[in-house]
């Protein structure tokens, strides 16, 4: 019989960080507190208690001024607020991957989105994450997701942010994603399953498929251990979950040729070693030899070679370097100048502790036990690979215009200079291309010569394709009365042309405003954003007639609601005639000021007193509701002129 030991069994980065932080804090303070179990492993919790880490069930059990460890699963916002109110010192051992879920929950809350977390509703990790928003949903899997959709048709219209408990079984999360993608029209999905969890689950499934008996080591409270057991049960006929070696039974290994062993993320190496040693008794009996746990661990270490790619986990960011765990005997690090091409970039903006990072091995020093890595060099290689792939697959890339060059512009795409000829810039012939400097643009790569480091691209092909797609979308869904937000593209004496998303429609001057205007420039200019609706359209001739005026509003009714005979209105003179002047009382409704009512004296023509566009006060003297006509008078508001005696030219009393 042989025992297959999972290479990834045991502490994950988040658990190891929490335990080391607890041990260090207890030593520095001479004793501290933890709320609940720091991790889900009784053996570790007991060991921490011996080191002076006391356990409290609630915040009010912690004396004021003490130091409190926040467990790796995180704590609810309510608990953190309660601790802050007691004036205690907090040491946050929350796993960085769990912290990311907290951030997603808070962002969803701020954006008015429904936050859904796939996981165990009773687990402390999910309860802590759910506390970051007011109306969270914690669903265990696809069945619960289905039930939630069926409860109300309103659920389909709300925006959703979806995440997963870090130890969630991937199959459950992916099945839930498919349902939500199908039902929800506005969903953001974040795969927050821990990389270490996924690796451990995949490896456990692989070993279980080869084993006659599978042993999973971990605390009964541990969610990831429980999930490992469930995964193994799908491939192996006999699966046993134990907390330590004492729970193993010799009868489990009868008629067994291959036994598998894995462990949850909160299981310490000493317990795994003890379980492995006990299981190995069967191997010694059959083969008379033993392979030590240390040897198996050494076999699991990666061999690092200069020039190869390697993936690791960021464990620390110091003032001079980023430290990375690459699963090797050597300590690995990245100098800041090997992290990014951008000299102004800050390391903490590029990577965070707990991030998985792919790097290039620059140098390995086995004597001193370290390896130098470079993210910058690997990124450069990847960019060229991506550029070449983009040509073959016609992928759209994004870059920033850095300069105007002879005959075109230069676009920086992830550090690679891409020349875009003027004819492919998407700008009109003769346009000032320097105005594009600093703009972010999308383009396709049309030519690559890696040896000469020459890359040619086209912005026009992307914009033309997007415009054609937008046009087809418009014509496929256009209907009378449909509203659009458009941009004024050009103006004529009889109206304006408005771009409503790749298609131009015309707004006649009569549809621009209820007020009487002579030219469109009185109410808009090129480049203005305009809310329009479709009056009519001809798909064959590709013509669209648009309107701006709201015909649901009756200007005459607006006038009748606002004014009555005898009222004084501030009116705008819109047209001068020989017999008087027309003046706008409210937009869309004009009244006539007869020439005899313009002044308190006889005048030859209205323009002797008035001019178009002038604002004057006038009294409403008559309203013909049936014919919708209004009579106005300026004279009625003027003081009457005194009468004179024809004989002595003295005023008559």
Tell me which residues are annotated as active site. Answer: 125
User: Pairing relation of β-strands 137-139 and 114-118?
Assistant: parallel
Residue 457, burial from CB neighbour count under 10 angstroms (0-12, 13-18, 19+):
buried
Q: Which two tokens stand for residue 623?
A: 């309203």
Torsion of CA 347, 348, 353, 355, to 10 degrees: -80
Torsion of CA 522, 527, 533, 538, to 10 degrees: 110
- CA angle (594, 596, 600) in 5-degree steps: 130
Q: Which residues contact 90 (CB under 8 A, 6 or more apart)?
A: 67, 68, 70, 80, 83, 84
User: Pairing relation of β-strands 416-421 and 483-492?
Assistant: unpaired
Rounded Cα distance, 39 and 266, in Å: 6
Rounded Cα distance, 16 and 37, in Å: 14
Counts for the chain of helices (H) and strands (E), in that order:
15, 32
Backbone angles phi, psi at 24, to 5 degrees: -70, -40
User: Pairing relation of β-strands 89-92 and 67-70?
Assistant: parallel
| Nearest of 631, 621, 619 to residue 582 by alpha carbon | 631
Q: What number of CA atoms fall less than 13 Å from residue 642's CA on the CB side?
A: 8
Rounded Cα distance, 247 and 241, in Å: 9
Q: Which two tokens stand for residue 592?
A: 């006539």
Q: Which residues contact 324 (CB under 8 A, 6 or more apart)?
A: 312, 313, 314, 315, 332, 333, 334, 357, 359, 373
The owner of tokens 């009714």 is 557
Rounded Cα distance, 416 and 410, in Å: 10
- What's the length of the chain? 653
| Nearest of 472, 480, 510, 477 to residue 493 by alpha carbon | 510
Q: Which two tokens stand for residue 467?
A: 């415009």
Strand, coil or helix: 286: helix
Helices 13-29 and 96-110 pack at an angle, to 10 degrees, of: 100
Q: In what order do the strands lie in the sheet with 258-263?
A: 2-5, 258-263, 213-217, 238-242
Backbone angles phi, psi at 409, to 5 degrees: -135, 165
| Nearest of 633, 635, 625, 628 to residue 566 by alpha carbon | 633
Q: What is the DSSP string of 371-412?
A: EEEEHHHHHHHHHHHHHHHHHHHT-EEEEEEEEEETTEEEEE
Rounded Cα distance, 72 and 16, in Å: 10
Q: What is the DSSP string of 518-537?
A: SSGGGT--TT-EEEEEEEEE
Q: Which two tokens stand for residue 110?
A: 């701020």
DSSP 8-state secondary structure symbol assigned to residue 153: G
Rounded Cα distance, 13 and 613, in Å: 76
Q: Which two tokens stand for residue 91?
A: 């040491």
């Amino acid at each position: 019989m042989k025992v297959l030991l999972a290479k990834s069994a045991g502490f994950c980065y988040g658990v190891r960080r929490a335990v080391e932080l607890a041990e260090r804090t207890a030593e520095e303070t001479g004793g501290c507190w933890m709320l609940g179990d720091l991790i889900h492993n009784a053996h570790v919790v007991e060991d921490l208690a011996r080191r002076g880490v006391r356990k409290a069930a609630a915040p009010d059990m912690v004396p004021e001024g003490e130091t409190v460890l926040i467990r790796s699963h995180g704590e609810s916002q309510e608990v953190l607020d309660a601790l802050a109110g007691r004036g205690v010192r907090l040491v946050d051992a929350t796993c960085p991957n769990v912290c990311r879920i907290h951030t997603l929950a808070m962002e969803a809350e701020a954006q008015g989105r429904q936050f859904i977390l796939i996981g165990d509703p009773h687990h402390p990790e999910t309860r802590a994450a759910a506390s970051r928003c007011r109306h969270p949903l914690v669903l265990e899997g696809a069945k619960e997701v289905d039930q939630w959709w069926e409860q109300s048709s309103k659920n389909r219209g709300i925006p959703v942010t979806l995440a997963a408990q870090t130890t969630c079984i991937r199959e459950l999360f992916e099945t839930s994603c498919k349902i939500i993608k199908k039902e929800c029209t506005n969903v953001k999905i974040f795969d927050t399953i821990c990389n270490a969890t996924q690796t451990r689950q995949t490896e456990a499934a692989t070993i279980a498929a080869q084993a006659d008996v599978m042993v999973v080591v971990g605390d009964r409270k541990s969610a990831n251990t429980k999930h490992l057991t469930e995964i193994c049960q799908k491939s192996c006929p006999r699966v046993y979950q134990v907390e330590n070696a004492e729970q193993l039974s010799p009868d489990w290994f009868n008629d067994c040729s291959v036994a598998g062993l894995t462990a949850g993320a909160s299981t310490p190496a000493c317990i795994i070693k003890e379980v492995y040693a006990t299981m190995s008794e069967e191997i010694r009996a059959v083969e008379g030899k033993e392979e030590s746990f240390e040897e198996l661990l050494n076999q699991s270490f990666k061999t690092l070679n200069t020039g190869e790619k390697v993936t690791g986990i960021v464990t620390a960011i110091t003032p001079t370097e980023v430290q990375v765990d690459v699963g090797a005997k050597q300590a690995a690090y990245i100098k800041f100048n090997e992290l990014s091409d951008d000299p102004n970039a800050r390391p903490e903006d590029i990577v965070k502790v707990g991030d998985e990072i792919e790097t290039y091995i620059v140098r390995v020093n086995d004597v001193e036990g370290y390896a130098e890595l470079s993210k910058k060099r690997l990124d450069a290689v990847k960019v060229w690979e991506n550029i070449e792939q983009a040509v073959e697959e016609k992928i759209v890339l994004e870059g920033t215009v850095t300069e105007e060059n002879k005959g075109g512009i230069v676009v920086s795409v992830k550090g690679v200079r891409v020349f875009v000829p003027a004819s492919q810039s998407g700008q009109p012939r003769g346009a000032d291309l320097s105005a594009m400097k600093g703009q972010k643009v999308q383009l396709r790569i049309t030519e690559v010569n890696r040896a000469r480091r020459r890359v040619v691209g086209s912005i026009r092909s992307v914009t033309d394709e997007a415009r054609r797609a937008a046009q087809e979308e418009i014509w496929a869904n256009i209907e009378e009365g449909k509203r659009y937000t458009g941009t004024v593209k050009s103006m004529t004496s009889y109206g304006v042309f408005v771009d409503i998303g790749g298609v131009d429609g015309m707004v006649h001057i009569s549809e621009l405003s209820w007020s009487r205007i002579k030219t469109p420039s009185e109410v808009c200019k090129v480049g203005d954003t305009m809310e329009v609706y479709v009056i009519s359209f001809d798909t064959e001739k590709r013509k669209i007639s648009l309107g701006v005026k709201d015909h649901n509003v009756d200007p005459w009714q607006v006038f009748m609601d606002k004014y009555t005979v005898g009222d004084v209105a501030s009116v705008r003179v819109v047209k001068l005639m020989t017999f008087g002047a027309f003046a706008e009382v409210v937009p869309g409704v004009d009244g006539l000021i007869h020439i005899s009512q313009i002044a308190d004296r006889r005048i030859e023509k209205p323009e002797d007193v008035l001019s178009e566009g002038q604002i004057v006060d006038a009294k409403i003297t008559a309203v013909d509701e049936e014919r919708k006509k209004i009579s106005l008078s300026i004279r009625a508001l003027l003081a009457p002129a005194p009468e004179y005696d024809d004989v002595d030219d003295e005023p008559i009393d």
